Amino acid sequence: MLNTTFLNKQFKNPIVLASGILGVTGAGLANIIKIGAGGVTTKSISLEPREGHKNPVMMGNDHFFLNAVGLSNPGIENALPEIAKLRSLTDAPIIGSIFAGTAEEFGVVAEKICTGPIDFLEVDISCPNVGAEFGRPFAYSTEAVETITKIVKTKSTVPVIMKLSPNAWNIAEIAKAAESAGADAITAINTAAGMMIDIESRQPVLSNKVGGVSGPALFPIALKCVYDIYKAVKIPIIGTGGITTGRDGIAMIMAGATLLGVGSAMYYNKGTCFSKITAEMEEFMKAENITSLEEIRGTAH
C-alpha cells in the first residue's frame, strides 16, 4: 500500500529520515530503518570536519523545534566508513547529503561521497543558521542554484537532489532553475529562520542567536512550498518539514510529494514516529479505499 518508487528506486514506504537527525554513524542510521523508515538521509557532510556552534544549540516545545547545530560533521573522509557500515547493515535506500562554502567545493565533496555506497546525493544549499560563516545562502539565487547543480551533476554518479530553503520568496523559480540545470529531484524544505528570547535573562536562547525552525509549526509552510514547486517542475519532490502524523503525510502527498522527509518528529515521538506515521497513513487509505499513493499524489491541485 505504501510502497513507493522514487527515481527508479524502491522504498518500502515513503518515509525517509531527514538530514541532520542522529548524525552519521552507520549503526544509528541502520536502526532508523529497523524502527520503520523506508530510507535514510545522512547528516550533511562537508569536505573538512566541522565542530558547529557552541551550546546551547537547540530547544523545543509542543509547537516547534529550534536548532542551530551549525552543520557539525566529521568531514567526508571520516563519514565514508560510516556510510559503508550502514550499507553493510541494510539494503534500504541511502541519501548522502553534502554542503560546501563554494560552488567548486560542492563538486569536490560530491565526487568524494559518490565513492561510497549511496543511492542518491542531496545537495544542501539552504541551511539558515550558518550565515556568519558562509554568507547569503545559495538557495536564494537562481544563478547560484544553476551553477552548483551543473557542477555537482558533472561529479555525481547517482541522482542529484537539490535541497531548497523556505526563506526564498521565489522557491518555485529556484526549483525550476535546479531542474533546468539537471537536478533529478527536489527536497523541500529546509528549516525556516527563527529565534527565541529568554525573557528572564533578556537574551536569545541559542548561542548562535538565530536557528532553524522545524516541527509542527513548519508544516503549513512546507506544504505550500511543495504545492508551489509541484506546479513548477516535473521532477519528484521529497516533502520535508513538520510532518508528525499520518494525516500530515497524506496532505504532503496530495500537495505533490513523492517521498516524505521526517526529522523533528523524533523529538515528539522518539522511536515510534516512523511506524506511527505509516500506520496512520494506511488507516486513512483503507478508510478512503485508496490502494496506492499514486492515486492521490498531487490531487489537491
Catalytic residues: 127
SS3 of 158-221: CCEEEEECCCCCCHHHHHHHHHHCCCCEEEECCCEEECCEECCCCEECCCCCCEEEECHHHHHH
Query: For 264-286, what is the mean pLDDT?
Result: 93
Report whether pLDDT(132) > 70. no
To the question of whether residue 43 is assigned a binding role by annotation, the answer is yes
13 annotated to bind ligand: no
Those residues whose C-beta lies under 8 Å from the C-beta of residue 11, and which sit 6 or more positions away, are: 3, 4, 5, 38, 39, 92, 93, 259
Helix (H, G, I), strand (E, B) or coil at 11: strand
19 is in an annotated binding site: yes
Residues of the chain above pLDDT 90, percent: 84
Annotated binding-site residue? 256: no
pLDDT for 133 = 40
Mean pLDDT, rounded, of the chain: 93
As assigned by CATH, the class of the 4-295 domain is alpha beta
pLDDT at 126: 79
